[in-house]
Structure 1
Amino acid sequence: MEHWAAKNKEATENQFQRLPDDVVLNIFDKLSDIQCLCRCFVVSKRFSSLIPLVQTVSIESKTWSSKYDCKTVHWKSNYGHGGTLPLGDFAENLITNLVLRPLRELYNRSLFPTSHRDVSGVIFLARLTHVQALNIELPSNFVGDNDSVFKWGAKFTPNLDSVTFLYASSLSKMMESERQQQESESEEEEEEMELGITNRERNRRVVIAIECIKDAVLWLGILCFVSDCPLSHFPMLQSVTITDSKKKGAKLCLSGEKLAECRNTFSMTRMHSLLSMGWSWTLENMRVGYVPVLHLPMSEYVMKGVTIVNYKMFADDDYDAYKAMVDAFAEEQDVFSEAVVQIQEKHKDCMINLLF
């Protein structure tokens, strides 16, 4: 019996060995997950010669070490300092510990691997010299909160001008009666508009928004790493996609001219220069708006208890907050992008500077 099993295994291996290189390479392309490619790389000389030619690579959230997790940066909220609460220390800690230190380690290890078979996690990326499509999924620490939904987005530039956060207590399909009445507010809605939300609940949502700022800075750091590590030497790279495991960040897709601009302007040196600008981060940079009921006629959904937060980070003085909010969700084309447009068109006056 054991002899038959061994013979059958040998026959299977021989059949796989007979496959042409292009077929085997296509299988690895379909596999794409970098951890699986790492394991296959050390199986045989043939695999180790073919895997560097893979064109599609995916890095899932489980691949990232806990040292690159957002939990490594802490920020204690304090509402006793008025609207001038400085976030400079938070900015310095965030950029240094969450971005610069771990990504510098990745950068150095990718340049100087400990051995020719150092295939650990993200470090292995530097060995894949023919990558055309890179898909990155980063870990997310957010935990579900009843029926509430939220998402953040940013228009990624070398300066990361701002981050926009959209939170709703509930999201549901619009009833027929709501579709008929969406053009005019009911008395109940007007009363709720006057009541708004409590300061405690507003502050809780602002703290969640600050957690999203952490993610946005991490994404910026990943873009700088992609542009400034050996990956930038890959002439075949055509697209980069970044998401998070909980889908809380608006998907970032770069290709063509956008990717070329990214590779020409993003760098770890740029992250260092942003660190020196962190002193300007205060809660005065934050604008918050509240809409009790938001109808979305295109998708036929209704959001209730909607809070929108826009945080100006490194933008110039001529920064247009409303355009930035729309741009942050432009590529999503979902209920969140429609919600931002509706707020801009019908509830523009709801946005105020944050004062605790």
Structure 2
Amino acid sequence: MQPKARVYADPSHVLDQFDRLPDSIVLLILNKLADVRSLGRCSAVSKRFNSLVFLVHDVYVKIDRVVTVDGDSDDPLSQSSPRHRNLFSNFLKFMLFTLLKPFHNLRSTNGSNKPVFPQLSHHSPAQVLKNFTHVRNLRIELPAGDVGTEEGVLLKWRAEFGSTLQSCVILGGTRIDQKLVSPEHESPVEDSGSIPDSFYTNGGLKLRVVWTISSLIAASTRHYLLRPIIKDHPTLKSLVLTDADGQGSLSMGEEQLKEFREKAVAASASSNRTQVPACNMKLKYAPYLDIPGGMALQGATVVTIRPSSEGSSGSNIRSETDAFISGAFDGPFKAAVRTLMKRRTYLLEMNGF
């Protein structure tokens, strides 16, 4: 008895279902993916994917650790870590290694079989991102906030930059905890609506000044380090640099990026950061503030900052500032800012530094 003949499909004629998708659909999927590590893995799948990955419009870079050139790493979330204290001086190093990790084994598709990034330690972040030639929206997340605070202290800031600082809002509180519920539902702290004299004598004002200066230094340092990336990506329309702690966020829109490219950035003489111009500040304070989510904020403070040269008159400027402040934070902190903005305003001035 002769065995029955079996017919097998020729593997070379099996249709890859992904090949049926047009490039526009694949790019739409890759844009939804955004994460640079995942995009790196996709680029290694096939020649077609490799040619499409670097055409995406949206890129998200999450930096989760500090890596030195010799490969040692420190925990960036530890307050005692020297890397935490020198986060910005090591920014280029850890951004470089984080960005390159998914690509370092990627080979060229032109037949030379050479690595796309042959020497890992010799490439800057700007060189890595240069392969993404159509980036419109770039979001970078640092592993931790830049301003050290004591446990229980709330400090959040958001800043907008063009070639220099345009607006900044800072929300702070000496302590955030569960709301105290009394039978009368009254605040446990006496509140006359004005800043008490003790605020000036017990270091309250000094603490807010420290918060303000520290936040502005953090924002201006982030801004300065973005120069090569902005220069090499004329397609950028939106750039956000934030951190995993949710402490600070620097943002630049299309017009602000255009201004950055057209005007010279004034660097601070004392460090690698953009110079902060002379500013007018408005401070609002509440000794105790109930916020949504069953929480309470003690020593609640909001500080709004604008360069002195821009003034504060004009309905357009006021409306833009109000919109920026109201949208600076999300959730209960947005409600906290809205409540604080109804409080009495105290004006301060600050020289450039």
Query: By the TM > 0.5 criterion, same fold?
Result: yes
Name 1:340's counterpart in structure 2: 337
Matches of 2:275 and 2:218, distance apart in 1: 19
User: Percent same amino acid at aligned positions?
Assistant: 22
Q: Does 1:217 align with 2:220?
A: yes
- 1:344–1:322 CA distance, 2 compared to 1 (3 A): farther
**Gaps spanning 5+ residues in structure 2: where?**
1-10, 70-82, 97-113
Q: Does 1:129 align with 2:136?
A: no
Q: Does 1:306 align with 2:300?
A: yes
Quote how far apart the aligned CAs of 1:60 are. 1.0
- 1:150–1:156 CA distance, 2 compared to 1 (3 A): same
The total of aligned residue pairs comes to 292
- 1:38–1:189 CA distance, 2 compared to 1 (3 A): same
| Greater fraction of residues in strand | 2
- 1:55–1:318 CA distance, 2 compared to 1 (3 A): closer
Matches within 5 A, 1:178-327: 181=186, 188-189=190-191, 193-196=196-199, 199-200=202-203, 202-221=205-224, 224-229=227-232, 231-232=233-234, 234=235, 239-250=238-249, 252=251, 258-259=253-254, 261-267=255-261, 270-272=264-266, 290-295=285-290, 302-310=296-304, 314-316=307-309, 318-319=311-312, 326=322
Matches of 1:48 and 1:317, distance apart in 2: 47
Contact 1:150 1:166 in 2 (8 A): yes
Moved over 6 A (4+): 63-67, 273-282, 284-287, 320-325
Name 2:57's counterpart in structure 1: 55
Contact 1:34 1:59 in 2 (8 A): yes
**Gaps spanning 5+ residues in structure 1: where?**
1-10, 74-93, 106-114
Letter of the structure 1 residue corresponding to residue 246 of structure 2: K
Task: State the secondary structure of the residue aligned to 1:163.
Answer: strand
Contact 2:191 2:286 in 1 (8 A): no
- Computed over aligned residues only, the root mean square deviation of the Cα atoms, in angstroms, reads 5.0
Query: Which structure would you say has the larger Rg?
Result: 2
Matches within 5 A, 1:57-206: 57-62=59-64, 71-72=85-86, 117-118=116-117, 123-139=127-143, 140-142=145-147, 145-172=150-177, 181=186, 188-189=190-191, 193-196=196-199, 199-200=202-203, 202-206=205-209
Deviates more, 1:270-279 or 1:49-58: 270-279
Task: State the secondary structure of the residue aligned to 1:128.
Answer: coil
- 1:178–1:322 CA distance, 2 compared to 1 (3 A): farther
- 1:56–1:322 CA distance, 2 compared to 1 (3 A): closer
Structure 1 length-normalised TM: 0.59
Matches of 1:150 and 1:280, distance apart in 2: 20
CA deviations on 1:184-208 (whole Å, 9 max, x unpaired) are xx78445993433764565455334
Name 1:79's counterpart in structure 2: none
CA deviations on 1:304-356 (whole Å, 9 max, x unpaired) are 112444555x431624799897555332354434433433322224x5568xx
Letter of the structure 2 residue corresponding to residue 125 of structure 1: L
Q: Which structure has more RCO (C-alpha within 8 Å, separation ≥ 6)?
A: 1
Name 2:79's counterpart in structure 1: none
- 1:220–1:145 CA distance, 2 compared to 1 (3 A): same
Matches of 1:327 and 1:44, distance apart in 2: 46
Matches of 1:308 and 1:38, distance apart in 2: 41
Contact 1:160 1:220 in 2 (8 A): no
Matches of 1:344 and 1:299, distance apart in 2: 20
